[in-house]
Amino acid sequence: MVSYGDGAYAAGCADTTRAGRGSGQAEGRPGGQRGIAAYKACEVLRRLTESGHDVQVVPTEASLHFVGAATWSALSGHPVSTQVWNDVHQVPHVRTGQAADLVVVAPATADLLARAAHGLADDLLTNTLLTARCPVVFAPAMHTEMWEHPATQENVATLRRRGAVVIEPAVGRLTGADTGKGRLPDPGEIFEVCRRILARGTAAPDLAGRHVVISAGGTREPLDPVRYLGNRSSGKQGYALARTAVARGRG
């Protein structure tokens, strides 16, 4: 997804979205990659739109095997296109990226990460990634072997070095019967990353390169070998501080 302007953004699964500011012309283009986690991106899109953001979905062609164009269009309130040949008079291959406040690629397949890292521009989504000058967030989803492959890891490192935010995949049940690292991060987590980046605006990542250690959770002070003084801390504040530190460190 891509977002533009105050509180407007776009989110997508291998998608791009955008929203207009002030003009009342907010628009978003969500896109989807051909990853089976694409259906979860519907929840990310819903959270964005319900927060008042205008989202343009820019699906990849492959992603439409999992979530169809009609779903993206209905949920976002905008027509969707996977390629650069529709509405050519509006020059969508540059306009979408240029106008965005935020581009969110969710789920980011191994293929999309590779195309983005190498600067390919063979569909509307990758054209948008090349023309966007706003923050870009990738939320990867793939099998553990694909995620751990040196090619994918080098592509992720390249994207991060250029300033993109690549969220770590979650650990858990994957598409088949197997379990491991590679699940699409929880839609709530993706939304939270987007929200923080948009709230920060164009401010510099003032914690870039810094190492931050935050402890979270309740304290237990021993009184004797059996008893202790404690509190009911949930740890939520510590986790919130950690997420903010990450957002301020990665542009």
Ligand X SMILES: Cc1cc2nc3c(=O)[nH]c(=O)nc-3n(C[C@H](O)[C@H](O)[C@H](O)COP(=O)(O)O)c2cc1C
Question: Mind telling me the catalytic residues?
Answer: 231
Q: Where does this chain touch ligand X (CB under 6 A) — which range of 27-35, 44-52, 154-162, 199-207?
A: 27-35
Q: Is 126 in the site for ligand X (CB under 6 A)?
A: no
Q: Where does this chain touch ligand X (CB under 6 A) — which range of 30-38, 200-208, 211-219, 227-235?
A: 30-38
Separation CA 141–CA 37 (nearest Å)? 7
Q: What would the two tokens of residue 88 be? A: 């050519």
Q: How far is the CB of 212 from ligand X (least distance, A)?
A: 30
Interface pick for ligand X out of 55, 67, 75, 142 (rule CB under 6 A) = 142
Q: Could you tell me the maximum CA-CA distance found in the chain, to the nearest angstrom?
A: 77
Q: Is the dihedral of CA 201, 206, 208, 210 positive or negative?
A: negative
Do residues 30 and 58 lie in contact, with contact meaning Cβ atoms separated by under 8 Å?
Answer: yes
Q: What would the two tokens of residue 38 be? A: 């694409």
Q: Is 63 in the site for ligand X (CB under 6 A)?
A: yes
- Residue 29's closest CA among 125, 146, 138, 153? 125
Q: How far is the CB of 97 from ligand X (least distance, A)?
A: 17
Q: Is 198 in the site for ligand X (CB under 6 A)?
A: no
- Residue 101's closest CA among 15, 191, 197, 12? 197
Alpha-carbon torsion, ordered 78, 80, 85, 90, to 10 deg: 20
Interface pick for ligand X out of 25, 153, 175, 233 (rule CB under 6 A) = 175
Q: Is 56 in the site for ligand X (CB under 6 A)?
A: no
Q: Where does this chain touch ligand X (CB under 6 A) — which range of 15-23, 55-63, 200-208, 214-222?
A: 55-63
Q: How many residues bind ligand X (CB under 6 A)?
A: 17
How far are the Cα atoms of 53, 108, 139, 212 from residue 184, in angstroms, in the given order? 22, 9, 7, 25
Judged by beta carbon, residue 8 or residue 13, the one nearer ligand X is: 13
What mask of x and - would describe binding to ligand X in positions 83 to 112, judged by CB under 6 A? --------------------------xxxx
Site for ligand X in 6-25 (CB under 6 A): 14
Do residues 210 and 249 lie in contact, with contact meaning Cβ atoms separated by under 8 Å?
Answer: yes
Which residues contact ligand X by CB under 6 A? 14, 33-37, 60, 62-63, 109-112, 141-142, 146, 175
